[in-house]
Amino acid sequence: MRVLVVYYSTYGHTHRMAEAIAEGAREVEGAEVEMCRVPETLPEEVLQKMGALEAQKAFAHVPVCTVEKLSEADAIIFGTPTRFGNMCGQMRQFLDAASNLWVEGTLVGKAGSVFTSSATQHGGQESTILSFHLTLLHLGMVIVGLPYAFQGQMRIDEITGGSPYGASTIAGGQGERMPSENELEAARFQGKHVATIASKLSS
Ligand SMILES: Cc1cc2nc3c(=O)[nH]c(=O)nc-3n(C[C@H](O)[C@H](O)[C@H](O)COP(=O)(O)O)c2cc1C
């Protein structure tokens, strides 16, 4: 049973969450878990101005994803930073290039799930995940979220991401905050939860 964690990250927050998602998925017996990054689409000069070039070196070892990779997976967990309350353009472009999977119904009945990162606490984490779900529904995927069985999303003693829709982290206006232990725990839970459901779906 193959679980693919597909993500884009500019500064490393979504990457760190992707690692935790993969860790959780690996806990499920029989799960083969792979991580991959969607291709960068911004010109180097823009990335330079954004301060992304240096940051992205930290996860340059993660292979770049192909559309074919999606078709081989039994479950796909997508990670994207919030861009104006939506998925990032890099992810959008990657998915738009996957229209053959829609035509052929390749992902129909497979588990799909989403996690995210945003600068601010109320800057669109839920809208990013929920609007991403529209694409998964068009592809025929079975949407998996982050159930309240992960009790850490009830916390009010500290600022935290995480909602029934999926794990998330709050990066801060300058990207100064890395995912907290609670947010990483949410990501591990989601990874394990998706892999457990995928294992049932594929058996
Ligand atoms: C073009 C652009 C739009 C963004 N829009 C939002 C937004 O709507 N809400 C928000 O809280 N953060 C927004 N951000 C901040 C990113 O979500 C933040 O940098 C990202 O979550 C960090 O994750 P990463 O390190 O994986 O790239 C935006 C950033 C950029 C560059």
Nearest atom, ligand 1, residue 79 CA: 26
Nearest atom, ligand 1, residue 81 CA: 21
How remote is the CA of residue 155 from the centroid of ligand 1, in Å?
A: 23
CA distance 128 to 108: 22
How remote is the CA of residue 60 from the centroid of ligand 1, in Å?
A: 20
* Per-residue pLDDT of the chain in tens (203 residues, 90 and over written 9): 999 999 999 999 999 999 999 999 999 999 999 999 999 999 999 999 999 999 999 999 999 999 999 999 999 999 999 999 999 999 999 999 999 999 999 999 999 999 999 999 999 999 999 999 999 999 999 999 999 999 999 999 999 999 999 999 999 999 999 999 999 999 999 999 999 999 999 88
Q: 10 CB less than 6 Å from ligand 1?
A: yes
The residue with tokens 């979504």 is 14
Nearest atom, ligand 1, residue 82 CA: 17
Single-letter amino acid code for the residue at 163: S
CA distance 168 to 69: 24
How remote is the CA of residue 193 from the centroid of ligand 1, in Å?
A: 26
Q: Which residues contact 64 (CB under 8 A, 6 or more apart)?
A: 36, 37, 38, 39
Please tell me the predicted confidence (pLDDT) of residue 203. Answer: 80
Which residue's CA is the closest to the ligand 1 atom numbered 30? 83
* Best residue among 82, 116, 176, 183 to mutate for probing ligand 1, ranked by most atoms within 8 Å of CB: 82
Query: Strands 75-81 and 32-37, how do they pair?
Result: unpaired
User: Burial code of 163-185, b = ≥16 C-beta within 10 A, e = fewer?
Assistant: bebbbbbbbeeebeeebbebbbb
Nearest atom, ligand 1, residue 15 CA: 26
Q: 82 CB less than 6 Å from ligand 1?
A: yes
